[in-house]
A and B are shown apart, each in its own frame.
Chain A
Amino acid sequence: MKKLFIFIFLLAGLGVNEALAQLNPTDITAPELAIDLSPEYPKPGEEVTATLNDYSGGAFGSTVTWVLDGQVIEAANNQRQAIITAGEAGSIQKIQVVLTKPQGLKKVLETSLRPIYLDIVIEPQTRVPNFYLGRSLPSIGSMVNATALLSDQSGFRNPDLVYTWSLNQQVLENGPIRGRNQVSFETPRGSDMVLSLQVTEPGGAVLAKRSILLPSVYPKMDFYEVNSLFGINKKIISAPLIISGNSAVVHAEPYYLDSRIYNNPAIHDWKINGIKSGNTGSNPYEVTLQRTGLGGLSSIQFQVRDTKQVLQGADGSIQVNF
């Protein structure tokens, strides 16, 4: 009989299957009460909205008191939200919420703000003339360089951190890379794009997170008159250009054209009244107009285009009065 019981016991044990514990992940990761910050990683001086999120109703009937670095925020008394101004770069601000239950029991929630500057410098590799004091803009298909600068009161942080870049929610460089505070990407189709960056310490703690909206523009052609002695006139030719002498030099400037195309265009044509002009100068972006007969109004057109790689181009025209 004893051997029979042992046999039955062993037989029952062989039929035991592993059963996974039916656990709801949210029961583990989501606290009952939490302080949510928006934005979560503010820059110094930025307004932050702190919200008491009561996932399970545990704060029901409690009074709410907000405390910032030991000082009560009177304006947020008994509110579920508080507006806080982020402090100096590199500082740590302690935010507490004191919940006083009807029975008199107190529950304290705590989080911290660590304001820091995360600047992303956008440098599109598109054309602007030397006299143009501003930055160029990205155009569809052009390359853009982005540089991340993390800084606090002591200056720039050592770039030996982990950077996760993503463009329109697609991670660049196939994932986070340590020390990679610079990235290059091609401007996608569309009128704008979202570039996101998360910076973490090598140990995994998130230091800063940011998303910026970047424009994508079409190349734009402007024309300027050139004086052979004094150089380019920095005012755009908008009204008909009046040629008082016998000749004039006109310079075409394709703003925001991809630099690769500008330096090596597949197509670059000047046309006068629709007829292609044989411009023999060394600079394909300049044409010399010479009066040869009766005066009058003429149309000058220029186009520059790539047909192989970037498939980008720009064109424009002006009126000239001889």
Chain B
Amino acid sequence: MKRPIFIIVGIILVLILVAIWVYVLFFGTPKNSPDIFNNFSFGDTTDTTLVGDETSTTSEPVVDVTSPNRLRQLTTKPVIGFTEVRADASSTPLVYYIEAGTGHVFSIDTTTGEEVRVSATTFPASTKGSITPDGQFVMMQSGGGLGSEVTINRLASSSAGAASHNIPDRVTAFTATVDNTFLYAVQTPESTVVMQYHPLSQNTEVLFTVPFREATIAWGDTAIDPHLIYPKASAKLEGFVLEASAGQVKRLPVDGYGLSAAGTAGSVLFSKQTDDGNYRSFVYNSGNRQTVASPLPVLPEKCDFSRTLSNTIICAIGTTPYDLATPDTWYRGEVSYTDSFWTLDTVSQGATFVLDTLAVSGQELDITELRINGEDEDLYFINKNNQTLWLYEWHQL
């Protein structure tokens, strides 16, 4: 035979062998081997049955109610409004909340942790909401600015009152009262008009008017309680506080730059810039008309007043010091605080540390919408960083 034929055959054989080698290298799999390489004494590892989740139910709890922590995250979804609903004094409280963006209303049983959707009515681009304490009606704002829409809807079909009521005016602020009505502020070309709507009777009445447009309202618990009104806070513009009660509006001796305030019938907590170039807080007593310094500087938007102790205010206070750009930088989202809870005593002018939320939760909580329930048992708040709803079992009593 000729030599070239031998060479060609040899080359072909070599190529075949190389191909087999490559195949075995990349695609070959070892057969099951009975050899044991390690024995970690895990027992019978040949059992291939699937262990199912024995705790899953149709209404799986979303809130961890077994943990000893008194600080609990109630939602993972962003929230635009919430309230505590009790059928009566002895019943378990439910927390109703409104999901941002959809306007869906949910309730959480804080004892069992179960969450139930109360309303599946969608309000696209919903940005703010308020629910009456009886859980029957919700006031919802969708969109923003001139294009925003505000409606009041009935949550329970068995309730009286209109299923839906649209407010055509330019609503800038609203709240639900403890006696299950709604208060809202309407902006006119030269003033702000505050009105009350009764969802059962569907009646509307004017409560009072303030002669400027850019107004912040610190609402009282009911329509007849005093409400505080002040020009929206600005670190570079002066503000002052008015008190509206029984249809009358009067000026309080509270004013300053960077001014914001919160209050009850007897006290006004306010913060402002002082002449020495600091941001400080004070408490004005309506009874004796005296103003005392708060033991700690606070943002009044992060405080609420005790429902049982007239001289106690609970506030969320961060470690980042306030400065002359406060509160503008917080409003814009440039500054975020990691808050702890403190109580302030307006009589002794003392402060008591309550809780480090970062140490307990492991999360940075910039607390806003702080609300004490009726018996000073629980605190609810929203974390401004992600709009989630939280509960702290204060149990002041």
Chain A residues within 8 Å of B, Cβ to Cβ = 43-45, 89, 117, 119-123, 129-137, 147, 149, 151, 153, 155-156, 182, 212, 214-215, 217, 222, 224, 227, 229-231, 233-236, 238, 255
Chain B residues within 8 Å of A, Cβ to Cβ = 77-78, 100-102, 125, 127, 144-145, 148, 190, 211-214, 216, 231-234, 236-238, 240, 248-251, 253, 255, 301, 327-328, 331-334, 336, 384-387
Contact A134 B327 (CB under 8 A): yes
Contact B234 A119 (CB under 8 A): no
From the candidates B216, B248, B384, B387, name the one contacting A230 in the complex (CB within 8 A).
Answer: B387
Contact A123 B212 (CB under 8 A): yes
Contact A137 B236 (CB under 8 A): yes
Task: Collect the chain B residues with CB atoms within 8 Å of residue A222's CB.
Answer: 332-334
Task: Collect the chain B residues with CB atoms within 8 Å of residue A153's CB.
Answer: 250
12 contacts between A and B (CB under 8 A): A44-B253, A89-B251, A121-B231, A122-B238, A130-B145, A135-B234, A136-B234, A212-B238, A222-B333, A227-B101, A230-B77, A238-B334
Interface centre among B237, B253, B385 (most CB of A within 10 A): B237
Task: Collect the chain B residues with CB atoms within 8 Å of residue A147's CB.
Answer: 190, 211-212
Contact B101 A156 (CB under 8 A): no
A173–chain B nearest beta-carbon distance, Å: 17
Closest 7 CB pairs of A and B: A130-B144, A135-B232, A230-B101, A135-B234, A121-B212, A235-B333, A151-B251
Number of interchain pairs (Cβ within 8 Å):
103
Residue in B closest to A149 when the chains form the complex, CB atoms: B211
A158–chain B nearest beta-carbon distance, Å: 12
A234–chain B nearest beta-carbon distance, Å: 5
> How distant is the Cα of A224 from the Cα of B333 in the complex, in angstroms?
9
Q: A89-B251, A229-B101 are in contact. Are A137 and B234 (CB under 8 A)?
A: yes
Residue in B closest to A237 when the chains form the complex, CB atoms: B333
A307–chain B nearest beta-carbon distance, Å: 25
> How distant is the Cα of A227 from the Cα of B102 in the complex, in angstroms?
12
A282–chain B nearest beta-carbon distance, Å: 12
Contact B214 A135 (CB under 8 A): yes
Task: Collect the chain B residues with CB atoms within 8 Å of residue A45's CB.
Answer: 253
Contact B232 A133 (CB under 8 A): yes
> How distant is the Cα of A117 from the Cα of B255 in the complex, in angstroms?
11
Contact A230 B78 (CB under 8 A): yes
Contact B190 A155 (CB under 8 A): no
Task: Collect the chain A residues with CB atoms within 8 Å of residue B190's CB.
Answer: 147, 182
From the candidates A134, A151, A214, A224, name the one contacting B250 in the complex (CB within 8 A).
Answer: A151
Task: Collect the chain B residues with CB atoms within 8 Å of residue A229's CB.
Answer: 101-102
Task: Collect the chain A residues with CB atoms within 8 Å of residue B251's CB.
Answer: 89, 117, 119, 149, 151, 155
From the candidates A117, A155, A214, A231, name the one contacting B248 in the complex (CB within 8 A).
Answer: A155
Task: Collect the chain A residues with CB atoms within 8 Å of residue B144's CB.
Answer: 129-131
Task: Collect the chain B residues with CB atoms within 8 Å of residue A236's CB.
Answer: 332-334
Interface centre among B77, B234, B253, B333 (most CB of A within 10 A): B333
> How distant is the Cα of A219 from the Cα of B301 in the complex, in angstroms?
26
> How distant is the Cα of A130 from the Cα of B102 in the complex, in angstroms?
18
Contact A119 B240 (CB under 8 A): yes
From the candidates A119, A132, A155, A231, name the one contacting B255 in the complex (CB within 8 A).
Answer: A119
> How distant is the Cα of A153 from the Cα of B251 in the complex, in angstroms?
8
Q: A155-B250, A234-B384 are in contact. Are A133 and B216 (CB under 8 A)?
A: yes
> How distant is the Cα of A45 from the Cα of B190 in the complex, in angstroms?
29
> How distant is the Cα of A283 from the Cα of B102 in the complex, in angstroms?
20
> How distant is the Cα of A137 from the Cα of B238 in the complex, in angstroms?
12
Residue in A closest to B235 when the chains form the complex, CB atoms: A134
> How distant is the Cα of A43 from the Cα of B333 in the complex, in angstroms?
35
> How distant is the Cα of A131 from the Cα of B100 in the complex, in angstroms?
13
> How distant is the Cα of A224 from the Cα of B144 in the complex, in angstroms?
16
Task: Collect the chain A residues with CB atoms within 8 Å of residue B213's CB.
Answer: 123
Contact B211 A122 (CB under 8 A): no
Task: Collect the chain B residues with CB atoms within 8 Å of residue A217's CB.
Answer: 236
New A-B contacts (16) at CB < 8 Å, excluding given A130-B145, A133-B327: A122-B231, A123-B212, A133-B216, A133-B232, A134-B327, A135-B214, A135-B232, A135-B233, A147-B212, A182-B190, A230-B77, A230-B100, A231-B78, A233-B386, A236-B332, A238-B334
